[in-house]
Structure 1
Amino acid sequence: MMSLTKAQIEEKVKNVVCNQLQVDASEVKADSLFVDDLGADSLDLTELAVAFEDEFDIEIPEADFGQLSTVAGVVDYIQGRLS
């Protein structure tokens, strides 16, 4: 199990979001909404979930990921799963 600080998790989450959604890091804020602010569609969201699973070596049930709409939400969720 990885031991990461919240800041490290946030950095990794933002990197994944930038890579998956092809957005500039300056656009990705803690309260950024994947769909409304960053232009993600349903396929992007699925790919994001898989990328987060790979990055953090966890499984994210589809029902859980459906509830996660912001960068901060994903950071908190992953932090909870890793602790």
Structure 2
Amino acid sequence: MAHSEDEILAGLAEIVNEETGLPTDAVTTDKSFTEDLDIDSLTMMTVVSVAEEKFGVTIPDEEVKNLATVGDAVRYIAQAQS
């Protein structure tokens, strides 16, 4: 079942919260993973792998570097589901 962008955003916020302790309302589409949320590359790989399981998608390693913001990740996951 495909998730809406709002559901994907909420899911990513939960994952980031679990991995970093950041409040879920701090995870918005305009936030940069590295600059705003202070997520390092190791944590980002964990976020990606949990998101892949949660949303039933595959995010190739070479694509992860293109996911600079939460919005980028939401859009990528939404497209990968269809």
TM-score, normalised with respect to structure 1: 0.88
CA deviations over 1:7-64 (Å, ceiling 9, x no partner): 1122112111221222112321211111111111111111111111111122110001
Alignment match, 2:26: 27
Q: Matched residue pairs, number?
A: 82
Aligned equivalents of 1:5, 1:50: Cα separation in 2: 19
Aligned equivalents of 1:59, 1:5: Cα separation in 2: 17
AA at the equivalent of 2:50: A
Return 5+ residue gaps in structure 1 as ranges: none
Give 3-state SS (helix, strand or coil) of 1:36's partner.
coil
Identity among equivalent positions (%) equals 27
TM-score, normalised with respect to structure 2: 0.89
Alignment match, 1:39: 38
Return 5+ residue gaps in structure 2 as ranges: none
**What is the correspondence of 1:1-83 to structure 2 with a 5 Å cutoff?**
2-83=1-82
Deviation at 1:79, TM superposition (A): 0.3
Aligned equivalents of 2:41, 2:5: Cα separation in 1: 27
